[in-house]
Structure 1
C-alpha cells in the first residue's frame, strides 16, 4: 500500500482534467470513461487552484472542487462563500486522510480570500461535521395525487388576470437570471447562479447523453411582469382500460410571489394525462400543500438536510444577517479543527475556542437596525460548536432543541430561550440548488 506521504495532494492542471474526471466518475460509481460532454463541463468549470486532486503516481485517486458563490443571509445580504463540490475518494484509497488534506488546503485558501462561509450539499451525513460544517437548511419533496387534490378540472388559467406561457430554452436564459436574482434577494439560504448554471439547465452544455429537453412555462402577472417560471419533464405511462398514469416531475420552480407559485402549481396539476406531480426540491415550509383544496393530496416523499455551512468569519457572518428582535449574547464557540498542515494561523480575534478560525468568545449585540460582533473576555452565555453555530446562523435550527440534545450548553439562566428568540426567523431558509 502506498504510504500517505507518497500521495501528492495538489491543484490539478487543465491537461489533467480527463484523469481527474475519471477519478470523479469512479468515486460516484459512474462509468469511469469520460464523455466529451463531461470534459466540456470540466473545462468550463476550471479555475486554476480550485480543482484539487490526490495523485498516487500518475493516477488520480481523490477529487475536490470549489468555486466562488454568494449565499443569501437572513435579511437579504449576500455573503461570499466557498462552495465545495465534486468530493470523492477512490475505494482503493479510503481512510488515508486524503479528504482532510484537500479540505484543509481549500478552507485555508477560502479564509485567505476573505470568504465568510463555506457551503456544500452533503451526499452522506456523517462526513462533514468533523470539518466544522453544520446542516443549515432542510429540503422537502412532495408528490401530489392530482385526482385527490380537489382542484377545479375546468381550470383554464390564472384567475388573477395573469397568464402562463410555454417558452423555450433561449427565453429561459433571457428571463431566468433576473427572476432568480429577485428570489435570492428575498430568500435566506439561496445561492447565486452563474451563466453556466442556465446553460446546463437548458442543454447548451450537455455533460450527459442523451439530453431530455424539459418543458418550460412562465407566469406573467396581470401587469405583464415575469414572476414565476418552471421546468418540468413528464413520463408516458398508461394503465388498464387506456387510463393515463403520467407523472410530471419538476426540475426547478421559481416563484417570487404567492400568486405565481399558486398559478404554476395549478397549471402543473391541470395538464391532461398527468395524475401525479413530483415537486422537486422545495423548502420545508413551502406553500404547495396549502394551495390545494385537499392538502393531504400532497404527501412528503423526501425530507432531509440539504445545505451545509461552515463559518469561516464569525464577525462578518453574524453582522451580515438581520434580526427581528433585540438583545445581546456572548457565544463561546469551539472550533477545534484548524486546517492542519495548511499553514492557517488559527483563531483570529476570538478568545480561546481551539485552533479553527471561528473559535473564541464573541459578543453579539443585535437589533432590527443592525448588529455588531466583537471578540470579548466576558463570561459566556452559551457554549456551542462551530457546526451548531452554522446550523443556527440561517435561522432554521432551534437553540432550545440543540440544548435539549446537549449540543448547546447554557451558562447563564435563560440564555437558551433568549438566543432562540434572537436567532430564529419567521420563515425557513431554503436552498433550491444542488451543486
Structure 2
C-alpha cells in the first residue's frame, strides 16, 4: 500500500517539483485554474461540430477524452504545464468551411484531420516544423490569427441573431428586441467585465448564466446537470479516407496543418516563456512537446473531433504557479470528470455560446497591431488575409489570398528575393487549386 511519502516521491521523480521550484498544492491549484479558463470548450465544440450532422453527445465525449489524452501526454512525457483541447478556429473551419461550405461529409473531414496529425508527427521528428514556421512572414502569421478572430465573431453574431441575412445588403443587423440577441449581448458584456477584473472562468460563467436565464424564459430546455456518459460510437473510428483523393481535400489537409502549425507552436513558446521555461530562447524537450500535440490530433480525429491543440489559457495556470506537467495531468483528470456533465452541455443554446465566440475573436485579433502597416507590401496581403476569412466565410480562402497577394506584390515591386521559398510553394499550390477547381 502506497504511503503519502511514497506518493510524493513518485510525483517528485515524474515531474521534478523541487527542481522546478513548485509544490503539489501549487500544481493542483494551477491545474484547476487552467481548467476553469478553458472548460468552455466542452460546451462550444460539440455545438459547433454537431452542425455538420455529428452526434452531439458523441462529440462531447470525444472532446473530453481528446483533451484528456493531449494533457496527459504533454504532462507525463514533456513535463510542461500546457493543456490541450480541440482548438477554436479549427473547429469552425471544419464545420463551416469544409463540411457546410464545401459539402464534405464529416467522416471525410475527420480523415483529413487525422492525416494532418500524421504529417505533424513526421515533421516534428524531422525538425522541419520550426523551419516552416520561421519561413512564413510575420505579417501573414498575425493576419491569419486576426482573420480567424473575425470569422469566429461573425459566427457568434449570426448564432445570436444579431447579424442576419439581408437580400439587399447581403448581411444586416437583426432585431435587438429579440430575447436571444439581448441575452447574447448581456453575456458578452459579462465576459468583458469579468475579464477586466481578472475573474477566472469568465467565459464559462457567462455561458452558464445565459443558459439559466434562457431556461427561465423558456428559450431552451434544461436537461439537467449530471447524467450517463453518452455513447461515443456514432463518431468513434468513423473516418472515411476514400474521399480524400482529390485536390480540394489536399487543400483542406494543408489548411488544417498550417493553422494548427502556427497556433500550437506559438502557444507552446508563449506559455513556456511566461513560465520561465525557455533556456537561451529555446524550449527544452521541444520534440516531446510537439509529439504531445501531434498525437492528440490523431487521437481526437479517431475519437470524433477536430484538431486538438495547446491552449493559450494555459497561461492562467502558469500565472497561478504551475511549472510542471502535473498541472496538465490535473487538467486531464478534470476533463474526464466532465464526462458525467453531458446533460448540462446539451442544455446550452447557441445564443449562450455566441458571446464566447465573439470574445475569443477579440483576443485573436489583437495580434494585428504587430503587422507592419506602414509597408504597403506587407499591409495589403495581411489585410486581404483578414477580410477574406469572414467575407468569403472561409479560413482557407483567407490564407490563400494572403499568400498569393504576398508573392505577387513582392514580385512586382522588385522584392522577389526577400520572399521565403515556402511562401512561393504555398502560393503556387493555391494558384493551381483556383485555376483548376475554381473557388
The answer to whether TM tops 0.5 is: no
Which protein shows a greater Rg? 1
Q: Which has the higher contact order (CA 8 A, sep 6+)?
A: 2
Which one has a larger percent strand, Structure 1 or Structure 2? 1
**Structure number having the greater helix percentage:** 2
